[in-house]
Chains A and B, each alone.
Chain A
Amino acid sequence: EILMTQAPATLSVFPGERVTLSCRASQSVSNNLAWYQQRPGQAPRLLIYGASTRATGISARFSGSGSGTVFTLTISSLQSEDFAVYYCQQYNKWPPITFGQGTRLEIK
C-alpha cells in the first residue's frame, strides 16, 4: 500500500497570500496524483488530476506540480472560500486508492 503524507496538518495564512501545500508518496506514483478540496459540511471536490491538470471549472489560482514522490498544490492569492481542507490521493497503484491525511488551511 502506498502511504501518502501531507504536511503540515494545519496552515494559517492571511487572505490574499500565496500558499503551497505538500504531499509525499512512500514510493513513486508517477504523475497519477489528484488533489481535492473539502469545505466544512461538504463533499470533497476534485481540483487537480494528473498532478497538474485542473479539473473542469477550477480557478486558475490553483496549480499542481510534481512527479514521482513529491507533489505540491499552490493557491495564489487566497480567497475566503479557499479556507478548507485539502487532500492528495494517489491512483498509480490500486487497490487500494490512498489519501493523505489532509492539510487544513485556516485564516490567520
Chain B
Amino acid sequence: QVHLVQSGAEAKKPGASVKVSCQASGDTLTRLGISWMRQAPGQGLEWMGWISGYSGNTNSAEKFQGRLTMDTDTSTNIAYMELRSLRSDDTAVYYCASSCLRANCLTNYLDPWGQGTLVTVSS
C-alpha cells in the first residue's frame, strides 16, 4: 500500500522558488504516476501537473507552464515539484497524490494523497 510523505512548510519571498518533495513508500516510484495539486486558503483544489515515475513524462496545467518543474529520483523514491517566480497568490497547501502511470490514462483518480505542504509567499 502506497504512502506519501511530503516535506515541511516553507516561507518564501515573492520572486523566489520553492521545491516540495514527496517521499513514496510501499511501492517503487517507477510503478507510480504522481500528480501535484494545490489549495489556496479557503478555496478548492487545483490540479497543477503530473509526472510518470516510469518514463519521466510530464503534463501540466497551462497556467503553470514555464514556472513548474516536476521530476523524480527513483534511487530515493522521491518526487519533486518546483514552482518558480512565486507570487503572493501562490500561497497555498501543495499536495502530491498517486496518479496513473501513463499519459492520458483513464484511471487518473488520485489515491492516496500526501499530507500537504504549506507554502507561504510574503514579503
- Judging by beta carbons under 8 Å apart, are A99 and B45 in contact? yes
Q: A44-B45, A101-B44, A102-B44 are in contact. Are A91 and B106 (CB under 8 A)?
A: yes
- Judging by beta carbons under 8 Å apart, are B108 and A43 in contact? no
Please name all residues of chain B whose beta carbon is closer than 8 Å to the beta carbon of A91 when the two chains form the complex: 106-109
Contact count A vs B, C-beta below 8 Å: 65
Interface residues on A, range: 20 to 34
- Judging by beta carbons under 8 Å apart, are A99 and B109 in contact? no
Number of B interface residues in the complex (CB < 8 A): 25
- Judging by beta carbons under 8 Å apart, are A43 and B115 in contact? yes
Closest residue of chain A to B46, judged by CB? A99
- Judging by beta carbons under 8 Å apart, are A34 and B110 in contact? yes
- Choose among B47, B109, B114 the residue with the greatest number of A CB atoms under 10 Å from its CB: B109
Please name all residues of chain A whose beta carbon is closer than 8 Å to the beta carbon of B112 when the two chains form the complex: 45-46
- Judging by beta carbons under 8 Å apart, are B62 and A96 in contact? yes
Q: A43-B114, A100-B44 are in contact. Are A94 and B109 (CB under 8 A)?
A: no
Q: A44-B110, A99-B46 are in contact. List 17 more A-B contacts (CB 8 A).
A: A36-B45, A36-B110, A44-B97, A46-B109, A46-B111, A46-B112, A49-B111, A87-B44, A87-B45, A95-B59, A95-B60, A96-B47, A96-B62, A97-B35, A97-B110, A100-B44, A102-B45
What 6 pairs between A and B have smallest CB-CB spacing? A91-B108, A46-B111, A34-B109, A49-B109, A97-B47, A43-B113
